[in-house]
Amino acid sequence: MGEFKRILVTGGSGLVGKALQIVVQDEKRQDEDWIFVGSKDANLCDLDATRQLFDKHKPTHVIHLAAMVGGLFHNMSHNLDFLRSNLAMNSNVLQVSHEKGVKKVVSCLSTCIFPDKTTYPIDETMIHNGPPHPSNFGYSYAKRMIDVMNQAYHEQHGCLFTSVVPCNVFGPHDNYNLESSHVIPGLIRRLHDVMEAGGSTFTVLGTGKPLRQFIYSLDLARLFLWVLREYDEVAPIILSVDETAEVSIRQLTEELQKAFDFKGEIVFDTTKADGQYKKTASNAKLRKYLPDFKFTPFAVAVKESVDWYKTNSKTARN
């Protein structure tokens, strides 16, 4: 039995938070008490509300997932909102974690925040080497400040505040709202609607050429457990599938077509933006720690995500 941990998970009602709830059901330890919260428990953009949340739960550890999160198109049209909301939430959670003597905080960056002009594969040392892609500079700079604050809290107060850098995440309980969703839930929602309506043409936005690494939310949740329990560097660690698992949006669409058994035509609307062409990240640092970690095969993860949405489309976050 290790030291007792009361772990507060902010963003606990979202895609990654729900995956963590599922994984914790099987893998929680006797000396761990898990608390999952969403925005209705406290608006983390408000410092007093953040303090009240921490006073209520008295966490010893925090997994900070809460954020204003969205896909390419939502970021392009709301860069200021992404910047301000995420700066506020991140600053409040780290400040109150320090005030209340939280032993460890694990926050969340993203592989989309790296410099737009870069060499590949991207690694953890490159976060601040140049401006991010213009489509999501607000979100990117807010996320980069987590790493800067983690370093400053460690240098001035010895805090163990660290962060992980996931690639694109997908899975059950995603956000399927067409204005704000990421590509996989957006395509799942739209292809489901086309098939429900008996349509025979499915339109995918952009050229289909961009490349992405996609991690299944349940795999990411398992890695979060390991980071919370075993990873004690302040420096970020990329949590991504292998470079060889990178797929194009077109290949993703073909996988979704199979999962839905859609026999109609796929059309690419090239009048819509592609966003970053690629953001290929290296998971060499993760592999050094966990050489044998097994990611769920992409086709299996996509099928499970599609089947979940088919069953839950009426109550999913649309």
Residues labelled catalytic = 139
Please report, as residue ranges, which positions from 141 to 200 form the binding site for ligand GFB (by CB under 6 A): 168, 181-183, 186-187, 190
13 near ligand NAP, judged by CB under 6 A: yes
Q: Which does 44 bind (CB under 5 to 8 A by kind): ligand NAP, ligand GFB, none?
A: ligand NAP
- 153/295 with CB nearer ligand GFB: 295
Footprint of ligand NAP on 100-129 (CB under 6 A): 108, 110
Residues 191 and 260: beta-carbon distance below 8 Å: yes
Site string for ligand NAP, 66-105 (x = CB under 6 A): xxxx-------------------x----------------
Site string for ligand NAP, 173-212 (x = CB under 6 A): --x------x------------------------------
Q: Which stretch binds ligand GFB (CB under 6 A): 39-47, 228-236, 266-274, 305-313?
A: 266-274
Indicate the burial class of 30 (C-beta count within 10 angstroms; 0-12, 13-18, 19 or more): exposed
Choosing from 6, 35, 38, 264, the residue that interacts with ligand NAP (CB under 6 A) is 38
Binder of residue 108, out of ligand GFB, ligand NAP, none (CB less than 5 to 8 A by kind): ligand NAP
- Between 169 and 306, CB nearer to ligand NAP: 169
Can you give the length of the chain in residues?
Answer: 318
71 lies in the site for ligand GFB, by CB under 6 A:
yes
Q: Which residue is nearest to ligand GFB (CB)?
A: 206
Chosen from ligand GFB, ligand NAP, none, partner binding at 75 (C-beta under 5 to 8 Å by type): ligand GFB
Q: Is residue 227 near ligand NAP by the rule CB under 6 A?
A: no
Report the C-alpha gap between 51 and 23 in whole angstroms. 28
Q: Which is nearer to ligand NAP, 17 or 172 (CB)?
A: 17
- Residue 56 and residue 280: Cα distance in Å, rounded? 41
Task: Quote the CA–CA distance of 289 and 163 in Å, as a whole number.
Answer: 16
Q: What is the CA radius of gyration of the chain?
A: 19
Among 10, 13, 50, 75, binds ligand GFB (CB under 6 A): 75
* Contact window for ligand NAP (CB under 6 A) among 43-51, 192-200, 203-211, 225-233: 43-51
Q: Name the residues that contact ligand GFB, by CB under 6 A.
A: 71-73, 75, 110, 112, 135-136, 139, 168, 181-183, 186-187, 190, 204-206, 210, 212, 249, 272-276
Q: Name the residues that contact ligand NAP, by CB under 6 A.
A: 10-17, 38-40, 43-45, 65-69, 89, 108, 110, 166, 168-169, 175, 182
